[in-house]
Amino acid sequence: MTFMTATDVTVPNPETALPPITPIVLSGGTGTRLWPVSRASHPKQFWALASKQTMIGETLQRAMGEAFAPPIVVCNQAHRFLVAEQLRENGCENGRIILEPAVRNTAAAIAAAALVAAQDNPETLLWIMAADAAFRYPERLPAVLEKAAKVAREGYIVTFGMKPDVAETGYGYIRTGAPLHPDQPDEGVYRVTQFIEKPDHLRATEMLREGGYLWNSGMFMAPASVMLDELARHEPEVLENVRTALARSQHDLTFRRLEAESFLRCPNVSIDYAVMERTDRAMVIPADLGWSDVGNWNALWELGDKDAGGNVVVGDVVLEQSHNCYVRSEGMLTAVAGLTDIVLVVTTDAVLAIHRDYAQDVSALVAQLKKASRTEAEIHNRCYRPWGFYEGLIQGERFQVKRIVVYPGQKLSLQKHFHRAEHWVVVSGTALVTRDDENLLIQENESVYLPLGCMHRLENPGRIPLTLIEVQSGPYLGEDDIVRFEDTYGRQ
């Protein structure tokens, strides 16, 4: 089987074509070590961090072509519309989205995806991958996939081991064993001897010097039937509870919402522990793809294009006499002078300054923010919704100002508030506003007043984004002061 991009597609012979590979994209992470850009409300896979494309977008693009079926994405309920938009933007309209009611690690997520894929064809190959990895050499991937598919079709679970070039302590490792086929030692497929959790620096250095160890990329390929058989053998409680959650699932628009009670009974275990450390079907293929899980800001410095001083710069940044820095601004001008080996990240509501050697410790800062009940720990100033997004501009006593953007053809829920009134000023586009029994068409530079308690709705009937400024006033301005009476997106 030849792996091609979407631009190289040819029509296969139906009598000789093998079942397609089903990409399984796991999009449940929050990426706290990439705070303040990555937060629970909008984690790293939905940001363009390693290139101009979002990380999940890059992942989806790698799995396009004649060899692949439409992808299955497993994600948090809160991110369902973000995932749906990414599928649409990347030409994956037929992709399926499975919604997890709670975080239960990768074993449960993979079990759900495998069960769904097996309903189509039990022998379809699953290519399981995280939504937020980056490859420096993606052009090498097709050859690796072709080899993995051949081995997986023999009934094995293939993991992709990345060749280490530094003594990395942030990754797990795989110890390689004997060749799968002793008569073909140059085939490049080995039995897995051991999975090793993230080592300390001394152990990582020893393994790098000794050789025979690979980084655990968290990518796997296996027939759906084999993955389900091994889950049944080694972690039956996960499989049975996921099977029940799927049987009781509900279709919600284009989403498949797993039933919560059964899913919550699943043990919280990774696929490494549930299957890969126990199965005798585990094989590993060494790969040199320039892989990174982009687990912290230092990883982005390593991946980025550097200037003469070794600096990686993103956004409106000015540097003077600074070296080996990663500086990112999500808006305002950021100036840096006389610094070395630092990470500086500026967003509209937070600034992170840290030495690159301490990049792994950002999670500890986020934990402090959560303990102090700071909303910045998990929620962005810009909040994305299925209809568009809004962001806070000014907040004071009894008032706040927001910018609202509504995508063409989209509309907010029919709603009312008990504690605030609102003024809407249209900056660009056209707004169709429902206000109690009225329907008002509001053009650029026009405004409308929504008194406290009125029933109202905002809609964009045009072909360009609608942008307006909202001024809220009242004794309570929280987002929970909302009662929805009708909603296109099925929200409560």
Domain identity same for 419 and 279: no
CA dist., res. 225 & res. 343, Å (int)? 45
Residue 400, pLDDT above cutoff 80: yes
Domain identity same for 273 and 395: no
Residue 367 lies in a domain: no
Domain identity same for 330 and 225: no
CA dist., res. 444 & res. 172, Å (int)? 55
Half-sphere exposure of 116 (CA within 13 A, CB side): 28
Domain identity same for 132 and 259: yes
For the packed helices 236-247 and 224-234, what is the interaxial angle rounded to 10 degrees?
Answer: 120
> Residue 333's pLDDT band (boundaries 50, 70, 90)?
very high
Domain identity same for 349 and 461: no
Domain identity same for 121 and 161: yes
Domain identity same for 271 and 349: no
| Mean predicted confidence (pLDDT) in 344-369 | 94
Q: Which residue has the tokens 């008990």?
A: 418
The predicted pLDDT at position 159 comes to 96
The predicted pLDDT at position 492 comes to 62
CA dist., res. 420 & res. 92, Å (int)? 41
Going by C-alpha positions, the residue among 387, 394, 385 that lies closest to residue 470 is 394
Lowest-pLDDT choice from 174-188, 313-327, 395-409? 174-188
DSSP for residue 274: I
Domain identity same for 191 and 237: yes
The predicted pLDDT at position 17 comes to 59
Residue 370 lies in a domain: no
Lowest-pLDDT choice from 58-72, 172-186, 292-306? 172-186
User: How many domains, the chain?
Assistant: 3
For CA atoms 417, 419, 423, 427, the dihedral sign is negative
Q: What percent of the chain has pLDDT over 70?
A: 96
Q: Which of 77-81, 163-167, 435-439 has the highest mean pLDDT?
A: 435-439
The predicted pLDDT at position 19 comes to 74
Residue 374 lies in a domain: no
> Residue 1's pLDDT band (boundaries 50, 70, 90)?
very low
CA dist., res. 245 & res. 92, Å (int)? 25
Residue 303, pLDDT above cutoff 60: yes
Q: What percent of the chain has pLDDT over 90?
A: 83
Q: How many CB atoms lie within 10 A of CB 143?
A: 11
Q: How many CB atoms lie within 10 A of CB 417?
A: 21
Residue type, 146: E
Domain identity same for 233 and 169: yes
The CATH number of whichever domain residue 133 belongs to comes to 3.90.550.10
Residue 331, pLDDT above cutoff 90: no
The predicted pLDDT at position 5 comes to 40
Residue 339 lies in a domain: yes
Element housing 56 (H / E): helix 55-62
Are the C-beta atoms of 85 and 79 separated by less than 8 Å? Answer: no
Q: In terms of DSSP H, where are the helices of 336-444?
A: 362-371
The three-state secondary structure class of 292 is strand
Question: Quick check: pTM over 0.85?
Answer: yes
Name, in order, each residue with C-beta under 8 angstroms of 252's C-beta and a sequence gap of 6 or more: 99, 490
Q: DSSP string of 414-457? A: EEE-SS-EEEEEEEES-EEEEETTEEEEE-TT-EEEE-TT--EE
Residue 389 lies in a domain: yes
Structure tokens at 398: 């009894």
| Mean predicted confidence (pLDDT) in 402-419 | 96
Domain identity same for 442 and 387: yes
Residue 10 lies in a domain: no
CA dist., res. 485 & res. 492, Å (int)? 9
The CATH number of whichever domain residue 469 belongs to comes to 2.60.120.10
Residue 259, pLDDT above cutoff 60: yes
CA dist., res. 364 & res. 312, Å (int)? 24
Domain extent, residue 447, equals: 382-486
More confident residue, 127 or 17: 127
As to burial, measured by CB atoms within 10 angstroms (0-12 exposed, 13-18 middle, 19+ buried), residue 486 is exposed
What is the torsion angle, in degrees rounded to the nearest 10, for the CA atoms of residue 75, residue 303, residue 384 and residue 427? -160
Residue 11, pLDDT above cutoff 70: no
Going by C-alpha positions, the residue among 279, 126, 124 that lies closest to residue 192 is 279
Residue 13 lies in a domain: no
| Mean predicted confidence (pLDDT) in 122-137 | 95
Residue 279 lies in a domain: yes
Q: In terms of DSSP H, where are the helices of 248-307?
A: 260-264, 271, 297-303
For the packed helices 55-62 and 80-89, what is the interaxial angle rounded to 10 degrees?
Answer: 50
Domain identity same for 72 and 213: yes
Structure tokens at 401: 């100002």
Q: What is the mean pLDDT of the chain?
A: 92
Name, in order, each residue with C-beta under 8 angstroms of 107's C-beta and a sequence gap of 6 or more: 231, 235, 238, 266, 267, 269, 270, 271, 273, 274, 275
Residue 12, pLDDT above cutoff 60: no
Half-sphere exposure of 72 (CA within 13 A, CB side): 26
Domain identity same for 238 and 197: yes
Q: How far from 48 is each of 11, 57, 324, CA to CA, in Å?
A: 33, 9, 21
